[in-house]
């Protein structure tokens, strides 16, 4: 099984993606006393404000929708679910030209819902998931017949976007068997086909936040961009920590729903590198949470909220911040887990935010001491976002209130009202004893490291994603040995790329200027910045190939990059 033990207080960094490990945003551990002091100092001298809060005149924030939860049976340990992939046509309320804008969309979904059901299991359980493909016949196959005057000729390109109606399933972050009916991303279901997955979660698996999504090569960006994804929660000792057990919990799945003028996503043109920045305002695109634009989340003053963030977008990095619009002061987003693995101490960044690349998960505890209206915002492009005065809930009731361009950065409205509570935060001593992989020692490492470098060949049409100078080739695999461990050095020579590997999580190693390890933490997805002359942006990780032999993949989690070939087959041999 996956080797686990409890960690001491050695982890130093909040689990976020850094611009670079030398100069980027680096979190730090919070003592129990410091965490409480930070929360108590927030708005300590601020007025309470009214008990009824205005909705803006030009937008109605919907109540946050939570998908259906499907739980495993306590007695049998079986989670039974059916996911039916099909088109779903519906009205999508969003925000455009500073007013509510409703777009009729027709997108690929699971079970006719905005988001797939949330699957809730425990270590030792088995996921029995029937995947049914009710999408139409494939219109974008790998191979097409062309005739340029010399007769028909079959042309095949598996590293160009294709397979938009062919599908499969991946349980992102789970340490499970990748073969047979397990987390096997080489399965392909065409229209009318179904498949019964049986994915057994090991008994010593960490408890945390994971997710599932379509993963057929060539069509991942189109299908996940449409919303073919859902949360997967593994419950265990993490959920028995009293402050986590008693917290007001929300699962928040972030998505970029970049529909075209017809309200569809039938290629990845809308996910071009600058499309979101250039077109979002004019098209009505907006980062959605659980398929909704700017939903409203309710908390009581002083109540502990546990927010499980899942970055299920196609390519956009987000930087989450919780802001009081009256003072433009940030409230702490205290991280307690990332990528499904709990920390041994609470973590906080200097800017009190959380940066997430596609594929990331981050569990955050929040407390807001005073009644009022607050905003969860994305500051990745906006930087130190400042709200205009009309957003302050303490303005006179007769003042006009309308969302303006600032709303493009709003992910959710947070309304804090009701009876004051005095909830506790998770204590570090309680987090320290939780199940997580044990660190990979120097003595455990094989002598030769593995190297992985991302690149893009823009000289070809369509462009090609590369790993170590080669596009994805299912017949050319990296072969590794079961029950060994290695250092990997990961870098990029063109653009940034969130690196993700299936089956085995990895331990990120951060070194100081003398070469000594100054930080180490576990992830399954990590943002790799482009190498430059000023700084070596190589990322060092250690990976243990435990428990499961067989084939799987590693890839860039900018999903159209993977569809264009930025993926590599991995084979673990006994």
396 Cβ neighbours under 8 A, 6+ residues apart:
none
pLDDT tens digits for 453-496? 999 999 998 999 999 999 999 999 999 999 999 999 999 999 99
Check pLDDT > 60 for residue 16. Answer: no
Domains and CATH numbers, the chain: 4-13+439-573 (2.60.40.420), 28-59+244-432 (2.60.40.420), 69-145+153-236 (2.60.40.420)
3-class SS of residue 227: coil
C-alpha span between 217 and 197 (Å, rounded) = 18
Question: Which of 116-130, 187-201, 529-543 is the least confident region?
Answer: 529-543
C-alpha span between 373 and 194 (Å, rounded) = 46
Of 521, 356, 519, the C-alpha closest to 436 is: 521
Tell me, what's the pLDDT at 131? 98
Of 73, 54, 161, 158, the C-alpha closest to 119 is: 73
Q: Provide the pLDDT confidence category of residue 395 given band limits of 50, 70 and 90.
A: confident
21 Cβ neighbours under 8 A, 6+ residues apart:
510, 539
Q: Provide the pLDDT confidence category of residue 13 given band limits of 50, 70 and 90.
A: very low
Tell me, what's the pLDDT at 26? 43
Q: In this prediction, what percent of the chain has a pLDDT beyond 70?
A: 91
The torsion angles phi and psi of 50, rounded to 5 degrees, stand at: -75, 170
The torsion angles phi and psi of 259, rounded to 5 degrees, stand at: -70, 155
pTM recorded for the entire structure = 0.94
């Amino acid at each position: 099984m996956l080797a686990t033990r409890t960690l001491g207080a050695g982890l130093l960094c909040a689990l976020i993606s850094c611009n670079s490990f030398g100069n980027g945003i680096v979190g730090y551990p919070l003592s129990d006393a410091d965490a409480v002091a930070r929360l108590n100092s927030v708005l300590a001298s601020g007025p309470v404000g009214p008990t009824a809060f205005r909705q803006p005149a030009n937008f109605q924030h919907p109540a946050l929708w939570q998908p259906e939860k499907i739980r495993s049976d306590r007695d049998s340990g079986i989670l039974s679910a059916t996911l039916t992939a099909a088109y779903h046509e519906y009205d999508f309320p969003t925000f455009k030209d500073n007013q509510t804008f409703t777009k009729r969309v027709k997108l690929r979904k699971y079970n006719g819902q905005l988001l797939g059901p949330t699957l809730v299991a425990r270590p030792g359980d088995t996921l029995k998931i029937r995947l049914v493909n009710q999408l139409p016949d494939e219109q974008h196959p790998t191979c097409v017949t062309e005739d340029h005057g010399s007769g028909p000729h079959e042309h095949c390109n598996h590293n160009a976007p294709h397979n938009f109606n062919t599908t499969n399933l991946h349980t992102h972050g789970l340490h499970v068997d990748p073969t047979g009916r397990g987390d096997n991303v080489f399965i392909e279901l065409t229209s009318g086909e179904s498949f019964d997955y049986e994915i057994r979660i090991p008994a010593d698996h960490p408890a945390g936040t994971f997710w599932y999504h379509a993963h057929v090569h060539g069509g991942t960006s189109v299908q996940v961009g449409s919303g073919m994804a859902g949360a997967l929660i593994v419950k265990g000792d993490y959920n028995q920590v009293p402050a986590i057990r008693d917290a007001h919990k929300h699962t928040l799945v972030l998505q970029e729903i970049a529909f075209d003028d017809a309200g569809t996503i039938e290629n990845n043109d809308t996910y071009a590198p600058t499309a979101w920045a250039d077109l979002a305002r004019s098209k009505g695109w907006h980062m959605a949470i659980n398929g909704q634009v700017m939903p409203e989340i309710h908390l009581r003053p002083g109540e502990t909220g546990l927010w499980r963030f899942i970055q299920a977008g196609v390519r956009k990095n987000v930087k989450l911040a919780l802001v009081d619009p009256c003072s433009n002061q940030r409230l702490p987003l205290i991280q307690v887990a990332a990528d499904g693995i709990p920390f041994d101490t609470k973590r906080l960044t200097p800017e009190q935010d959380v940066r997430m690349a596609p594929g990331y998960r981050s569990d955050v505890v929040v407390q807001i001491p005073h009644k009022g209206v607050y905003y969860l915002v994305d500051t990745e492009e906006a930087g130190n976002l400042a709200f205009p005065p009309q957003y302050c809930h303490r303005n006179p009731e007769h003042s006009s209130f309308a969302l303006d361009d600032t709303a493009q950065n709003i992910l959710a409205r947070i309304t804090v009202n009701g009876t004051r509570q005095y909830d506790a935060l998770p204590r570090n001593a309680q987090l320290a004893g939780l199940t997580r992989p044990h660190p990979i020692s120097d003595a455990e490492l094989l002598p030769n490291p593995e190297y992985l470098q991302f690149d893009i060949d823009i000289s070809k049409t369509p462009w090609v994603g590369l790993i170590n100078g080669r596009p994805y080739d299912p017949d050319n695999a990296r072969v590794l040995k079961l029950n060994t461990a290695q250092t990997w050095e990961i870098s990029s020579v063109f653009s940034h790329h969130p690196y993700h590997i299936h089956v085995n999580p990895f331990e990120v190693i951060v070194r100081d200027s003398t070469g000594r390890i100054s930080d180490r933490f576990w992830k399954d997805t990590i943002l790799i910045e482009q190498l430059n002359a000023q700084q070596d942006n190589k990322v060092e990780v250690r990976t243990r190939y435990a428990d499961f032999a067989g084939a799987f993949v590693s890839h860039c989690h900018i999903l159209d990059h993977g569809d264009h070939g930025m993926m590599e087959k991995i084979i673990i041999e006994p």
